[in-house]
Amino acid sequence: MNGELHRPNPDEILRRVVAEEARTKQGKLTLFFGAAPGVGKTYAMLEAARAELEREKRDVVVGVVETHGRYETAALVLGLELLPSRRVAYRGVEVQEFDLDHALVRRPALILIDELAHTNAEGSRHPKRWQDVQELLDAGIDVFSTLNVQHVESLNDVIAKITGVMVRETVPDAMLSQAHEIKLVDLPPDDLLDRLRDGKVYVPAQAQQAIENFFRKGNLIALRELALRTTAERVDAQMHEYRRAQGIEQTWATSENILVAVSASPYSARLLRAARRMASTLHASWFAVYVEPNSARPMPAASVTRLSHNLRLAEQLGAKVVTLTGENAAEALVRFAKERNVSKIIVGKPLAARFRDRLRSSLIDQIVKQSGDIDVFVTAGDPDPGEVVADRPQQTQLHIPSFVVALGIVALCTGLGWFVFGVDQLADVVMTYLLGIVVVASRFGMRPSLAAALLSVAGLDFFFVRPYFTFAVSDLRHIVTFAVMFVVAVVISGLTERVRNQALSARHRELRTNSLYELSRELASAVGSHRVIEVGATQIERMFSSRVNVFVRKPKGALECARASRDDPPPDRDLTVGEWVWSNHKEAGLGTNTLSAGASLYLPLLASGGIVGVLGVTPDEPDRFHAIDQRRHLDAFAVQMALAMERAFLAEETNQVRREVETEQLRSSLLSSVSHDLRTPLAVITGAASTLLQDAPSLSTPLRLELTETILEEAERLNRLIRNLLDMTRLESGGIRVNKEWVPLEEVVGSALQRLESRLKARELKVELPPGLPLVPCDPILIEQALINLLENAAKYSDGPIELRALLMPSEVIVEVADHGLGIPDGQELQIFEKFQRAVRQGSPGGVGLGLAICRAIVVAHGGRIWAQNREAGGASFRFALPVSGEAPMLPPPELAEPPSGDGPT
């Protein structure tokens, strides 16, 4: 029993195995980690690479290495294969950049990429070098790279505080945690300063001053400590991992979940970093949650951008980003926290308590009240420098016409009050003004209605309160009236505004829901993947006023454009980006981190079974998808479309498989049937011919004749069999075209009877063709074949006379072949037209059972129908109907009928 406890739990093992597997398929990242530039990271990396090359004989390639002109470093590069760099024109200067595509094609076992935090020149696939590295790792290539502690995203603000230098180039912590190994390259600060003095540290000339401030001993000590601590944390994590693997830890707490509330606030960034640090020390996974209010006014553009920025930052820091919808943010947050077993909630502390918060309880109070046993942490916010300032101008955006209308309405109310009620009817006039304010509030929102309230108070004072036509007030009680009126006006406009916003957002949501509903309805009714793609793309184009391309990949094929937008076929570049999106299952293009130079956004169409396509959206206004709700709306469309496409693809696949199975079944029944029916005549021919050959002298003449006749008959039977097989194959494969000509039925019948002359010699045959039968549009060769098969069938299954007749109907001609045999067994009237089906009856004659199937195929190809029934007088009747519409072209008039040469009778 105790032994049980020490064993690691199976889920845990499974998770570890999956993680391990992902790690082995992935390339391994080794980071050479240092406290500051100049500690010798690049040197250490090159040394390690040489060791790999020389000792392990690995395929090592140098992707990028900055030697900064240092002799020792350059010497180490010698002898290693250098990947040619990509030259990019950047602001008129030619810059050399790492060539990712080349590296992916070259596919070394190990590649060296210096300066993980580097920002790529514009126009590169990824804006950041660490993204290049990520892609290399995903492709299964091992990477050596270097990183300084100040570039670590979660330490970014701490370091900015220590050194006073804000580092813009950051690397997400996820890169560190996914590193297979972190090698700390450590140099005591004094030694580093010595190296700096000796000029052994590369310092760009223009940044001399800044760099010198940076390389102060105090800074260096602090940075060194941070680097050491980061490495130590990592070792600690590794130890945990090890203990878990060995089952040492008996009481491993179920992994903790942390929730951090994100908003459009500039302070959220710091909050996120704090959360990240807490999460990493607790080995917890964490959620960054944004609550979108139900009744929100459309957010100002700056806030939208900042919110997107915050959410992206959260993602980079390794959070799971979740967006919730709800009127009450606290309630939504706590509900989510409880659902996901969150143990700690982190919220920012508002810097200045808002007026509203004093009236009602603040967000924090509400969370604390509702949270139950969840810990709530309140962290002071500190805006990222330079971000708050940008926020201001947005707020003073005024919509002038609405203020003019507000003014007009107040003037109207004043006039109304003046002429209807006159002075001294204050109560009535106040009511009139309030009505005006309500109107303004409901039409134009908060600010114009506040203006209207102010104007109303002024108007009331000026026109209706003694002394008239001045703003002076004789009776102090009126001041109270003004105040009450103003407060009432404010409250009313607040309420009206809220109702208005709720209505607006309800309408907005309804539109969104409707469009999604419409999409799913249309997608559900679309048949076939092509139609599904077309419907989805058209809907997206209409909804987002964009152009839409859809790319799919056939099994084992390259990515291809399955649907081009109306005006242009997509350029090759689109296919390249599409390929990337397909293989990485990540979005790219406009507004993303990858290949963001173009005007199109590329989304992977992910369904339950994997990626089914790539959606390329080119909005008419480039910033359309900056708005979070638009993006989410588009994502919802993409999900719907992906599911519909998957469904269509699966259906097509199933059909394909079914067809293959049917073909397979057909083939096997054909084989069994054919092998029997071919062998019988062959056996007879072989037997008869060998008798003739061996016993020739002893055979009597009649016997010899009989044997010879047998051979001939069997050969003819074989010929018919093969003819039917060939016909069926050709009809089935669509290899036979119906060449319709206007033909007299009599000719076709005559030709068929003539071909059957020898076989039907002994049979009585009645042919009834009514006079005046029109020409029938048909392929005479095929219809003749159908007739032959029907007549042969009748001859085979009956002994009496055979009747062939035609009937003229209003829009078709019916041809009947009837016999006086035993008829068709009950219930087999349809079945006998199937391939390899014969009427099941004892002693029935042989045959492959293709004749009637061929008839049906021929008649159906003519747009006609065929059926069989038993006759009342006994025997079977087979009929087919050929449609006759229109008339044969007129015969030539007499003058055309004149002979080309004059040899006609005169």
Helix (H, G, I), strand (E, B) or coil at 34: strand
CB of 689 to another protein, least distance (A): 13
CB nearer another protein, residue 527 or residue 897: 897
CB nearer another protein, residue 780 or residue 849: 780
CB of 728 to another protein, least distance (A): 12
CB of 86 to another protein, least distance (A): 57
Cβ contact 549:574 at 8 Å: yes
CB nearer another protein, residue 653 or residue 887: 887
**Residue 810 backbone dihedrals phi, psi, to 5 degrees:** -55, -45
Q: How many CB atoms lie within 10 A of CB 702?
A: 8
CB of 734 to another protein, least distance (A): 15
| Token duo for residue 759 | 């076989």
CB of 715 to another protein, least distance (A): 7
CB nearer another protein, residue 222 or residue 749: 749
Residue 895 is given by DSSP the state T
Cβ contact 413:453 at 8 Å: no
CB of 899 to another protein, least distance (A): 6
Q: What is the dihedral of CA 760, 764, 769, 770, to 10 degrees?
A: 180
CB nearer another protein, residue 233 or residue 713: 713
Q: Which of 629, 625, 622, 623 is nearest to 603 (CA)?
A: 625
CB nearer another protein, residue 571 or residue 899: 899
Name the packing angle between helices 851-861 and 780-797 (round to 10°): 150
Cβ contact 55:206 at 8 Å: no
CB of 886 to another protein, least distance (A): 12
Q: How far apart are CA 348 and CA 354, in angstroms?
A: 14
The dihedral region occupied by 776, where left means phi > 0, alpha psi between -120 and 50, and beta the remainder, is: beta
CB of 719 to another protein, least distance (A): 6
CB nearer another protein, residue 622 or residue 770: 770
CB of 706 to another protein, least distance (A): 18
Provide the binding-site residues for another protein, judged by CB under 8 A.
712, 715, 719, 723, 726-727, 730, 741-744, 746-747, 749-751, 753-754, 767, 769, 775, 780-781, 784, 888-889, 891-892, 896-900, 903-905
CB nearer another protein, residue 14 or residue 705: 705
Cβ contact 730:853 at 8 Å: no
CB nearer another protein, residue 345 or residue 806: 806
DSSP states along 322-368 = EEEE-S-HHHHHHHHHHHTT--EEEEEEPSS--HHHHHS--HHHHHH
CB of 647 to another protein, least distance (A): 43
CB of 667 to another protein, least distance (A): 22
CB nearer another protein, residue 253 or residue 715: 715
CB nearer another protein, residue 250 or residue 754: 754
Q: How far apart are CA 68 and CA 76, in angstroms?
A: 13
**Residue 284 backbone dihedrals phi, psi, to 5 degrees:** -105, 155
Q: How far apart are CA 309 and CA 295, in angstroms?
A: 23
CB nearer another protein, residue 504 or residue 765: 765
Cβ contact 141:121 at 8 Å: no
**If DSSP states are collapsed to H, E and C, what string results for 41-104?**
HHHHHHHHHHHHHHHCCCCEEEEECCCCCCHHHHHHHCCCEECCCEEEEECCEEEEECCHHHHH
Q: How many CB atoms lie within 10 A of CB 554?
A: 9
Q: Please report which helix (H) or strand (E) contains residue 261, including its range.
A: strand 257-262
CB nearer another protein, residue 300 or residue 744: 744
**Side chain identity at residue 582, one-letter code:** W
DSSP states along 378-418 = EEE--PPTTTSGGGSGGGG---HHHHHHHHHHHHHHHHHII
- Dihedral of CA 677/679/680/681: which sign? positive
Q: How far apart are CA 561 and CA 551, in angstroms?
A: 4
CB of 679 to another protein, least distance (A): 19
CB of 784 to another protein, least distance (A): 6
Q: Going edge to edge, which strands form the sheet with 876-883?
A: 765-768, 802-808, 812-818, 876-883, 865-870
CB nearer another protein, residue 623 or residue 747: 747
CB nearer another protein, residue 105 or residue 891: 891
CB of 751 to another protein, least distance (A): 4
Burial of 382 (0-12, 13-18, 19+ CB in 10 A): middle
Q: Which of 599, 638, 604, 596 is nearest to 620 (CA)?
A: 599
CB of 877 to another protein, least distance (A): 19
Q: Please report which helix (H) or strand (E) contains residue 640, including its range.
A: helix 628-694
